[in-house]
Amino acid sequence: MNYLQRISRVLAISVVANLFSCSVIGNENKVAIATDLPKKSHIQERLLFIGDSHSVGIFGRSLTELLQQNFPYVAITAVASCGSEPRWWLEGKATNCGLLTHEANGFESKVLKGNTPKLHELLNKVKPKITIVALGSNLVLMKEEDRENYTEKMMAMVEDKGGQCIWISAPDARKFSASDLNDVYALLKKLSKLHHCKLIDSRKYTKYPNSGGDGLHYGGKEGALIATQWAEKIFDGIKPSLSKLFEHHHNR
């Protein structure tokens, strides 16, 4: 994809995201997006992607789009809860800044306020062959003991019921110190080995702008491009393993 194509896609995604935000703030009912995706009720291969506010925004939407485009024969369920960390997904805590759901049939909805789905219910419903978790930034804000306890419970649950596991953690952020992010990554590295989860360090693919923004979320023209490139690089890294995982179904 060349630079002009990338910019066009970023702007298109940004417009959709802004339309979502305006609609939701004015009306907290569901906002549905019609799609032309093929019906996937007959598909047996399933993927679950969950995340936080980065996944409510351009990063998550871009990654979901790439997954759809490259694996049209896989039923993809994506859920993102703004502000979420592992405890939210275990206990179903409510978000007040955005809950985005992309169902396997292509239907999407976004509400400003809503309960984060409980992970065990999602896993029982979707029965994924692979689960992608994009959580990390909000782990910085947790107490150290809670961070370890709830993150381990979440990874163990994915290991037990979620098929293969990929954990995409925090991108670069001006809001947090390098030491804060290092602590989170040290824990995730330990737990990912224990629970056989592939850990991806998003700091390799992101550099937060020196000015503008809130120091955490990637917005505006510059931030949107970084978030899109982040998703593209993550996808390029996981595509080979996903292709191998799903190849027998595709070749039927």
Instruction: Tell whether 251 is covered by a domain.
Output: no
pLDDT tens digits, 212-229: 999 999 999 999 999 999
Q: Any idea what the CATH number is for the domain that residue 215 is in?
A: 3.40.50.1110
Instruction: Tell whether 218 is covered by a domain.
Output: yes
Instruction: Tell whether 26 is covered by a domain.
Output: yes
Instruction: Tell whether 195 is covered by a domain.
Output: yes
How many separate domains does the chain show? 1
Instruction: Quote the percentage of the chain above a pLDDT of 70.
Output: 81
Q: What pLDDT score was predicted for residue 247?
A: 86
pLDDT averaged over every residue in the chain: 87
Instruction: Tell whether 191 is covered by a domain.
Output: yes
State the average pLDDT over residues 121-141.
98
Statement: residue 249 has pLDDT above 70:
no
Please identify which residue in the block is written with the tokens 């169902």.
Answer: 103
Instruction: Tell whether 131 is covered by a domain.
Output: yes
Q: Which domain holds residue 105?
A: 3-245
Statement: residue 27 has pLDDT above 50:
no
Instruction: Tell whether 250 is covered by a domain.
Output: no
Task: Give the orientation angle of helix 178-194 with respect to helix 144-161, to 10 degrees.
Answer: 40
User: Please, which pLDDT band fits residue 155 given cuts at 50, 70 and 90?
Assistant: very high
Statement: residue 250 has pLDDT above 70:
no
Q: Is 168 exposed, middle or buried (0-12, 13-18, 19+ CB in 10 A)?
A: buried
The answer to which of 6-15, 29-38, 40-49, 57-66 has the lowest mean pLDDT is 29-38
pTM for the model stands at: 0.85
The per-residue b/e assignment along 86-125, b for 16 or more CB within 10 angstroms, e otherwise, is bbbbbeeeebeebbbbbbbebebbbbbebebbbbeebbee
Statement: residue 190 has pLDDT above 70:
yes
